[in-house]
Structure 1
Amino acid sequence: MSIAATAVPPLPHHTLMIFLLQVGVLLLLALLLGRLARQWGMPAIVGELAAGVVLGPTLLANIAPAFSDWLFPQEAAQMNLLDAVAQLGVLFLVGFTGMHLDLGMVRRYGAKAVGVNLASVLIPLVLGVWLGFVLPERLRAEGAEPAVFALFVGVAMCVSAIPVIARILIDMRLIHRNVGQMILVVGTVDDVLGWLLVSVVAAMATTGVQAGAVSLSLLHVLLVVLFAGTIGRRAVRAVMRAAHRSEVRGMPIAAAAIMIMLSAAGTHALELEAVFGAFVCGILVGSCEETQATRLEPLNTTVLAVFAPLFFGMAGLRMDLTVLADPEIALWTLAVIAVAVAGKFLGAFLGAVFSRMNRWEALALGAGINARGVIQIIIAMVGVRLGLLTTEMYSIIMLVAVLTPLMAPPVLRIAVSRIEHTAEERLREHKVLALQGENVSPLLSTSREDACTSTGPRSRRPPTGTR
């Protein structure tokens, strides 16, 4: 048989045209509404999600159903093209989030944050699992195991979103405050634990709830972490060193992108979530001395300006807010939001109190850690892909992701105004402003320990336009 006879035919003309239109229209509207959201003092993801809501079943499908069916036909082959582009975006976005985690700061504040982390994860996790069991069956996808669904809801309730938290602290000029640093540390550890839990739940959804399968999933997670901390760390450092020494333009960008994709493929092959591999690889790339943020900025900008809005727009397309017209769904929506907010806030607040922080510091921690956003949106999309969530439950979780970041600033203003502004914090603030004047944005700290070497502290630049 000839090669030509076995070749896969190219995309049909109409399929390619619709795909290009989908990308162009969705990206244009996401960027416009994201900019409008920022002007109104909201995170950009609110507007980018709204683009999908406008073009999806909530609005366009009701106003112009024929046009909606033509532009976004509910055909697997067509929608999978758009979803594939969105998946690339989310893997890069999670990878860059990992690059900007400050491991040095975690080591400095880690001991004090342990109690806060335990409470801020365990309390919402337990409440979320309980909620997952009491939610009506209509919110659980057909064929989904009740135990896996409940555990997934628990994980969705206990995550934070370090990019959103960092953006809020920067905008409110709290990044230099001790309480701001503590919020970032707790949020960082929460993110790491969240991805570990998501990977375990994903494996359970794939292999079933069996003691052997769950143990194997936990073993895979442990192996990934051990490999990353030993061989992976050295390999990433060697690759980034070679890339930076190369005279080929853009080689550091290509090297980082390749490693993120291969790491995602590796964890996916182990029946863990691909985003977990991207996140771990991002941490390794960002923690090495050889990584220079300015050399990776073009890819960072492309991801944040193109891929991320497409992903959030795609996420909004799956939302159907018309389900809230059903009184039962509306009541359960309020219940989920209440449990999500109360569990995370109460966990962080109690953890801070038991860690001997005063009540205003505890209040600030609770408000900051309660902000979800990008991480919960990604997890909601994972739940759809795993076949755990109905459209109604997916829409509810997405509402939690959008509403919680809007709650944080007012409470933070009240709490921080009653926390003493120390001389050390004023000095740190002066350094922060100096760095900003040099176009270096101190997302995670004004000085940073390097995770690969002990050459001393250095600053790390955040992803521009952090969501």
Structure 2
Amino acid sequence: MTTDTLLRLVVALAVVLAVAKLLGRLAVWAGQPAVIGEICAGVLLGPTFFGGDLTRLLFPAEVRPSLNVLADAGVVLFMFLVGSEFDQKLLRGQGRAAVGVSMGSMAVPFALGAALALYLIEQHPSEHRVAFTLFLGTAMSVTAFPVLARILSDRGLLNTSIGALALACAAVGDVLAWTLLAVVAALAGGAGTLWHILLVVPFTALLVFVLRPALTRLGERWKGARSTVTRPAAAGVLIAVAIGSALSAAATEWMGLHLIFGAFLFGVAMPRRHWDSIREWVLPWVGRVTSLLLPVFFAVAGVAVDLSGVGGAALAELALLLVVAVGGKVIGAYGGARMSGIPGRESATLAILLNTRGLTELIVLTVGLQLGLIDTALYSLMVVMALVTTAMTGVSMPLVDPRRPVRAAAGSLPVPPAVRSGP
């Protein structure tokens, strides 16, 4: 990398971070999650505005490969955080309701999204018709677990029964969504890599049933030998986490899946018992590093969003996407909640909360774009759909729960204590 390229990269990073933080704070001021403003920052820096001149000035061709690497690093660490915060205790005592609501909030939008795909594929041709159909269904059924946790925290709902149930449903839905996306990635990858893809089963078993118990025993010995965790030791764990996430991500990428699956699985494999003090020191640092790198991901994703040529036909497609996304989630979640015996107001609250898509949807859409399942035009419209549905949550919540004011949010990567605890 030449000195000129390095200087351009530093300038691009400075602009990306400044714009993302500014718009993130504006979003919080407007009562929205910071991630809304950060995603808008990525779109603002893309070719939608100023005829693409700003994009070409900030992100010349020689800088983009380095930005892609930083963006991938941010997503890998973010998915590690999502996996490490997956709390099985959320399902205890309300497993039936969580499963019922999750199935409804996933099945209905998935079916409607798959049906919509049969229409959209004529306007946005794809070589993988089955994968395209499954992908659109998956994209319609996603819920952003981390953004949802932040919204619940801001409204004082994290430690309530409805908040715990919403998180449990989102957690179950996330696992189903990532599984579906893995199937889509496998289909789009072709039959030639089938034996690679099948390796994900023993790989997952190795992480969960071998690595996790081994780390638990190591943590038990550490806890018995030391009363406190020194900073050098915690820093060593932080480095080990980064290396482990990267290796796990590389493994699933080699298997024909996306690197996000490896990072997520490595996070799930992290032990809870005997690692409390280390987790309390390490995870916030991972969150801080991730909060610096994720705006780069938004910028890279924003470069692919081009709304400058949106016309009547595109607006009609956007309307269809919004109807299917919102209608499918609300009908599915509300219906599943009512069938599980949950009262009407709480069912409506769950339906609104589970309509949150945010960053998780953006990651899913980026995977679809990288796999060649969707074109830039459809990708751009679905990014708008993700922003609108996430913003709708904050606007709609006072209608069903007017008693709880919104508290000021700080950041877009929640690591709330209620989510952090686990077996």
Q: What do residues 356-396 of structure 1 show as CA deviations (whole Å, max 9, x unaligned)?
A: 11222211111111111111011111111111221111111
Report the structure number with the largest CA radius of gyration: 1
Structure 2 equivalent of residue 313 of structure 1 = 299
Q: Indicate which of 205, 211, 230 corresponds to 1:232.
A: 211
How far is the alpha carbon of 1:92 from its aligned partner?
0.3
List alignment gaps of at least 5 residues for structure 2. Answer: 405-414
Q: What do residues 298-351 of structure 1 show as CA deviations (whole Å, max 9, x unaligned)?
A: 523433431122212222222112232x11011001101110111111111111
2: CA distance, partners of 1:242 / 1:48: 42
Structure 2 equivalent of residue 33 of structure 1 = 23
- Residues 34 and 92 (structure 1 numbering): CA distance in 2 closer, same or farther, change over 3 Å? same
Percent identity of paired positions between Structure 1 and Structure 2: 33
**Is 1:109 equivalent to 2:65 in the alignment?**
no
2: CA distance, partners of 1:294 / 1:329: 47
**Is 1:149 equivalent to 2:132 in the alignment?**
yes
**Is 1:353 equivalent to 2:322 in the alignment?**
no
AA aligned to 2:288 is T
Q: Indicate which of 365, 373, 377 corresponds to 1:380.
A: 365
List alignment gaps of at least 5 residues for structure 1. Answer: 1-10, 422-439, 452-467
CA contact (8 A) 1:126 1:154 kept: yes
Task: Name the count of aligned residue pairs.
Answer: 406
Q: What do residues 60-79 of structure 1 show as CA deviations (whole Å, max 9, x unaligned)?
A: 335xx3x5434323x3x531
SS at match of 1:174: coil
- Residues 167 and 102 (structure 1 numbering): CA distance in 2 closer, same or farther, change over 3 Å? same
2: CA distance, partners of 1:391 / 1:331: 17
Q: Indicate which of 18, 22, 43 corresponds to 2:8.
A: 18
Q: Which has the higher contact order (CA 8 A, sep 6+)?
A: 2
- Residues 132 and 47 (structure 1 numbering): CA distance in 2 closer, same or farther, change over 3 Å? same
Q: What do residues 194-217 of structure 1 show as CA deviations (whole Å, max 9, x unaligned)?
A: 111111111111115x9x94x974
1: CA distance, partners of 2:366 / 2:222: 33
CA contact (8 A) 1:285 1:291 kept: no
Structure 2 equivalent of residue 178 of structure 1 = 161
TM-score, length-normalised on structure 1?
0.80
Structure 1 equivalent of residue 407 of structure 2 = none
Q: What do residues 210-230 of structure 1 show as CA deviations (whole Å, max 9, x unaligned)?
A: 9x94x974x444434433331
**Bigger mean CA offset, 285-294 vs 387-396:** 285-294
Q: What do residues 55-99 of structure 1 show as CA deviations (whole Å, max 9, x unaligned)?
A: 21011335xx3x5434323x3x53121111001001101111222
Q: For 1:28-427, what aligned pairs fall within 5 Å after superposition?
A: 28-62=18-52, 65=53, 68-73=55-60, 75=61, 78-140=63-125, 144-207=127-190, 213=194, 217=197, 219-238=198-217, 248-249=232-233, 250-285=235-270, 287-292=272-277, 293-324=279-310, 326-416=311-401
- Residues 345 and 362 (structure 1 numbering): CA distance in 2 closer, same or farther, change over 3 Å? same
AA aligned to 1:226 is A
2: CA distance, partners of 1:398 / 1:44: 16
- Residues 287 and 273 (structure 1 numbering): CA distance in 2 closer, same or farther, change over 3 Å? farther
How far is the alpha carbon of 1:171 from its aligned partner?
0.8
1: CA distance, partners of 2:249 / 2:190: 19
CA contact (8 A) 2:99 2:172 kept: no
AA aligned to 1:182 is L
- Residues 224 and 157 (structure 1 numbering): CA distance in 2 closer, same or farther, change over 3 Å? farther
AA aligned to 1:72 is F
2: CA distance, partners of 1:287 / 1:132: 41
SS at match of 2:94: helix
2: CA distance, partners of 1:189 / 1:372: 15
CA contact (8 A) 1:94 1:275 kept: yes
- Residues 251 and 239 (structure 1 numbering): CA distance in 2 closer, same or farther, change over 3 Å? farther
- Residues 201 and 236 (structure 1 numbering): CA distance in 2 closer, same or farther, change over 3 Å? farther
CA contact (8 A) 2:31 2:394 kept: no
How far is the alpha carbon of 1:178 from its aligned partner?
1.3
How far is the alpha carbon of 1:286 from its aligned partner?
5.6
